[in-house]
Chains A and B, each alone.
Chain A
Amino acid sequence: MLAYIIRRVFQSLVVLLVVGLVAFSMFRFVGDPIDNMLGQERTQADVERLRTQLGLDQPFPVQYYKFLEQAVQGNFGISYRQSRPVSEIIAERAPATLELAAVSGLFALGLGIGLGVFTAIRRDGIASNLIMSLSLVGVSLPTFLIGILLIYVFSVELDWLPSFGRGETVAVGGWTTGFLTPSGLKALILPAITLGLYQMTLIMRLVRSEMLEVLRQDYIRFARARGLREKSVNFRHALKNTLVPVITVTGLQLGAIIAFAIITETVFQWPGVGLLFINAIQFVDIPVMAAYLMLISVMFVGINLIVDLLYFAIDPRLRIDGRH
């Protein structure tokens, strides 16, 4: 068990280092940050001076090494665009993304499981057929289109919800939250739906097919034959057995929600790390891009590691196989 964990942690570290190396080798193709940092009246001498000052004249492995050296000490450098420490900027922006991800994750999970069960039990009803067809829209429409559509319906035409931003936020310690004000809660609705819609349909379809599978099993038939109530059969026996794959997928999708919040954040001008990353690309803000990419890869690697370890703990078959 211990050897397994050590091996997995070591593999994760290698993955992280490789991600960083690839990222740094790509940065020079993103563009030249100096042009954005200096105005149109700059001279070539200004350009060269700033390039040397920022260490951009060095080959990328050297730049990468310097980044790593600083990063292990918790220092991610100074943003080219904002002239402020990157760690401070990311800490400022992270609450917005995490709150949005949490709400849309709950939305996806709650509604996804509910609708999945419903469409499995009433598999031939008009309502479930309608839901199934509509869910196709959810998976096939691109996120930005859904976002713009929601904005036009609910902000411009109906004027119920704000068209952009987080509304009023309250600072609790270093964490700004939108959960405590009415405008903050209202501002969460449209972005959370936009971000969670794909995951919701995914979970719904997964739950539905798992349910259909389980409902055909012998033990369900026996349960029915024993005269157990329909509700008890569906939820206590059937749903419980469908949840293992659902939880696995949800865990992995949580990472995706945070990483792919970029588009939703851009459409709704949601001040999270995704929007920060888009800005950083446009400005070739290398320190911010590097920190963001490392953070996201740490998150993905971390989630995968936890999932692997959970399998190991939950599934006895894996352990037996491991001894061979």
Chain B
Amino acid sequence: MRTTLAIAATLIATAAHAETFTWAGNTDPQTMDPHAVNSAPVLGFLNNVYEGLVRRGKDMTIEPALATSWEPIGDGEGWRFILRQGVKFHGGQEFTAEDVIFSYERASSEQADTSSWFAPVSEVNMVDDYTVDILTTAPNPIFPDSIANWMIMDAGWAAENGAERPAKDAENYATLNANGTAAFQLVERQPGLKTVLEPFAEWWGDAEHNITRTEFTPIQNSATAVAALLSGDVDMINPVPIQDAGRIASRDGVKVIQGIEARVIMLGFPHQAAELKYGADAGQPNPFADAKVRQAVAHAVNVPAILQTIMRGNAEAASQLVSPAMRGYSSGLAERPAYDVEGAKALLAEAGYADGFSFGLKCPNDRYLNDEAVCQAITGMLAQIGLKAELDAMPVRNYWPELREDNFDMYLLGWSPGTFDAEHPIRFLASTPNEEKKLGSWNFGDYSNARVDELLPMIQSEIDDAKRQGMLDEVTQILQEETAYVPLYVQPLVWGAQENIELTQRPDDFFILRWVTVN
């Protein structure tokens, strides 16, 4: 009997050891507060700890989480959510409609970075303990899609610990502690060092994973992260530097998992600027105001070559502002301008720039995958049609202020739609900038088209899917015809893991622990 017990104990001990999962990312989530920061590292990590009313599945579709069902109210006045009963927070508190109301107030407060998600919301009402009505100012068909990262916090827990509001310039209990309802609970948090999660025994769902404990460590230096994976010190790393992917894939015991991200990389132009600002032709009239010149640029950039050499075949060419994985993608407009040097030269000649001109290209060097290398390649390609780009690459912390001050003749931008819907980039990149209506806040080049501006509110409130898609297609067509931006490619997603790890890679680069199995 004793031997059996001892053997059983050993088995359990080894099994438990095998299921401890360690992983490394290049960024430490800066806070455990789900409403304080609207950034992918934070929201991605906290998706394992907190849950929203709805969540995204493996293929990014919306599925029930803390709400079991939802339906539009009346004629598009809002949405009614029926909440799941018997759900417990990690601290043991019961989940009710009160927590939803509290989390709405918290996430939409001025101190929260997530308040833009609730811009269309006029009122949130508690109907009973397990029913909540969210009223919107206009019909909003994609509202449930837009709140997948809105995480619910326990009202009582927040009040007890003085964390009713997120804070940026003060200490807050919720910065280091968490109390969600999701499959994993926070056990230990040492910022910048390690964060330990363990499965939550009373979670309402069925666990698909076999993890008993997980440890997250940030490793900033990519060479160190690769070494940690190869030496078996960690089970998974995200991201893998593209140039190391082949080397890792060829080693025994480790594998590379590839996919494409939601982020589209594109070139932007000054549409309203009167003059060029950089290069030998500074002070000359701005040629990029002419659609023909922008088209010439689109034809001159050899995207397949960029993908082949700089992205090592890991990325996909893009034709519009969103990737095919997004809702509202215009599948009929998937063709992008062909690489055609002669055609580009002809377009330039037509526009009156047969001899080309020189200008300044602004580029970040630490924001997107191999961003500076991509800009260098583009500089070389544009030179073939006589456009001499003066490349100025800088860290992203200097980059946004430069763009906001209109200090560019052409710039590189990546956009990942937070709602995973084609409406998102139209609102932020293609609308005429309007501070009051919160439109076009990332439209640095001041692109403006009356029809696009007219269509956006109609798209936002159209309930009928076919009609909505028709309008999205119209916008895409306008943007393509006018070459408002030159979409280049969809950024790849490359993770590395030990051979015995099964996991699911989601296009939003969120790493969801409940889909991990350790074999």
Asked, given contacts A38-B113, A155-B233, A266-B221, whether A78 binds B397 with beta carbons under 8 Å apart, the answer is: no
Interface positions of B from 425 to 440, Cβ below 8 Å from A: 428, 435, 438
Interface positions of A from 68 to 88, Cβ below 8 Å from B: 78, 80-85
Q: Is B470 an interface residue (CB 8 A)?
A: no
- Determine the interface band of chain A, counting residues with CB < 8 A from chain B: 35 or more
Q: Contact check: which of B38, B39, B227 meets A156 at CB < 8 Å?
A: B227
Q: Contact check: which of B176, B227, B397, B400 meets A84 at CB < 8 Å?
A: B176
Contact digits for B112-149, partner A, Cβ 8 Å, 1 yes 0 no: 01101100000000000000000000000000000000
Q: Contact check: which of A31, A49, A152, A162 meets B110 at CB < 8 Å?
A: A49
Contact digits for B362-383, partner A, Cβ 8 Å, 1 yes 0 no: 0000100000000000000000
Cβ–Cβ contact B38 & A41, under 8 A: yes
User: Considering the chains assembled together, what is the distance between the CA atoms of A89 and B28 in angstroms?
Assistant: 15
Contact digits for B262-306, partner A, Cβ 8 Å, 1 yes 0 no: 000000000000000000000000000000000000000000000
Q: Contact check: which of A44, A82, A92, A282 meets B441 at CB < 8 Å?
A: A44
Cβ–Cβ contact A43 & B397, under 8 A: no
Cβ–Cβ contact B30 & A43, under 8 A: no
Please choose the segment from B162-170, B344-352, B455-463, B489-497 that sits at the chain A interface, where 4 or more of its residues have CB less than 8 A away: B162-170
A35 contacts which chain B residues (CB < 8 A)? 396-397, 400-401
B36 contacts which chain A residues (CB < 8 A)? 83
Shortest beta-carbon distance, B17 to chain A, in Å?
15
A266 contacts which chain B residues (CB < 8 A)? 220-221
Cβ–Cβ contact A156 & B219, under 8 A: no
Q: Is A45 an interface residue (CB 8 A)?
A: yes
B14 contacts which chain A residues (CB < 8 A)? none
Q: Is A284 an interface residue (CB 8 A)?
A: yes
Q: Is B320 an interface residue (CB 8 A)?
A: no
Report the nearest A residue to B251, measured CB to CB. A156
Q: Is B228 an interface residue (CB 8 A)?
A: yes
Cβ–Cβ contact A36 & B38, under 8 A: no
Shortest beta-carbon distance, B291 to chain A, in Å?
27
A78 contacts which chain B residues (CB < 8 A)? 169-171
Shortest beta-carbon distance, A55 to chain B, in Å?
9
A44 contacts which chain B residues (CB < 8 A)? 435, 441
Cβ–Cβ contact B233 & A37, under 8 A: no
Cβ–Cβ contact A155 & B231, under 8 A: yes
User: Considering the chains assembled together, what is the distance between the CA atoms of A49 and B168 in angstroms?
Assistant: 12
A40 contacts which chain B residues (CB < 8 A)? 38, 416, 418, 428, 442
Asked, given contacts A36-B397, A42-B116, A83-B31, whether A148 binds B223 with beta carbons under 8 Å apart, the answer is: yes
B400 contacts which chain A residues (CB < 8 A)? 32, 35
Cβ–Cβ contact B168 & A165, under 8 A: no
B416 contacts which chain A residues (CB < 8 A)? 40
Cβ–Cβ contact A82 & B401, under 8 A: no
Q: Is B230 an interface residue (CB 8 A)?
A: yes
User: Considering the chains assembled together, what is the distance between the CA atoms of A140 and B139 in angstroms?
Assistant: 67
Contact digits for B8-42, partner A, Cβ 8 Å, 1 yes 0 no: 00000000000000000000001101001111000
Q: What are the 6 closest A-B residue pairs judged by CB atoms, nearest first?
A: A31-B397, A39-B38, A41-B116, A155-B231, A35-B400, A163-B227
What are 28 sample pairs from A and B whose C-beta atoms fall under 8 A apart?
Answer: A31-B395, A31-B397, A39-B39, A40-B38, A40-B442, A41-B117, A41-B418, A42-B38, A43-B441, A44-B441, A78-B169, A78-B171, A82-B191, A83-B30, A83-B33, A83-B169, A83-B175, A93-B192, A155-B227, A156-B227, A159-B232, A162-B233, A164-B217, A164-B228, A269-B224, A275-B192, A282-B397, A283-B397
